[in-house]
Amino acid sequence: MNIAIIPARGGSKRIPRKNIKDFNGKPMIAWSIETALTSGCFDEVIVSTDDDEISKIATQWGARVPFKRPAHLSGDTIGTMPVIKHALEWFDSQGDSPEHVCCIYPTAPMLPPSVLVDAYHRLVESGSKFCFGVSHYGHPIQRALRMDASGQLSMFSPEHALTRSQDLEAAFHDAGQFCWGTRAAFLDGRSPLTQDSVAVLLPRYRAVDIDTLEDWELAESLYAALTLRA
């Protein structure tokens, strides 16, 4: 049994009601629900939320909301892992024990279903604990700069001040779209950012982590460009 869990609390602050705000004609969370359902990877697609309106919309778009997330797991300082663990413990209480779990974030409107399929196969074939999407940093991280209060700049890695860009090691970051894992790994509270993980590479235009209004506007622009190109 494989399940998708979409964590979507109601109290987003930087973009109010972010998870159900309209994005190109649909509530934002609807994109993640449709991606999960279309992938064909899951026996269950559920939404973990503390919010009645999110629950109603999620159900309308085909997800199941079998429980209400408790208040102590709904604050803005709560990480994803305790939320996924809570959902799995609920499944355990119902006599179900999914083998593989995918956390899909509710703000992933440009995540193709095929990526979830590829990531699942990579997880299983590699025997890893987790598999998630990563993307290249747009610029070499070895050239990163810090700036003090007066605007003075200095390099994080001054030893690379004269190194050619093509000679610097490529660096990647979590794309913030989804994370497949084994049931045991999620229940253990393991971090995916370890050697227990493998990754699938996403192009940067599909890896917008939507936390601010600027992120939202960028995602809308990229979606429009992808639609025109299709």
The CATH-assigned architecture of domain 2-136+171-229 is: Alpha-Beta Complex (3.90)
Amino acid at the residue 39: S
Residues 145-174 pLDDT 10s: 999 999 999 999 999 999 999 999 999 999
Q: What distance, in Å, lies between the first and last C-alpha atoms of the chain? A: 34
Task: Indicate the average pLDDT of the chain.
Answer: 94
CA separation for the pair 140, 22 (Å, rounded): 35
Amino acid at the residue 160: H
pTM: 0.93
Sequence ranges of the domains in the chain: 2-136+171-229
Residue 229 has pLDDT above 70, yes or no: no
Residue from 211, 205, 200, 209 nearest 177 by CA: 209
At residue 29, φ and ψ (nearest 5 deg) are -65, -25
One-letter-per-residue 3-state SS of 172-203: EEEEEEEEEEEHHHHHCCCCCCCCCEEEEECC
Residues 98-124 pLDDT 10s: 999 999 999 999 999 999 999 999 999
- pLDDT, position 230: 55
Cβ 80 vs Cβ 176: under 8 Å = no
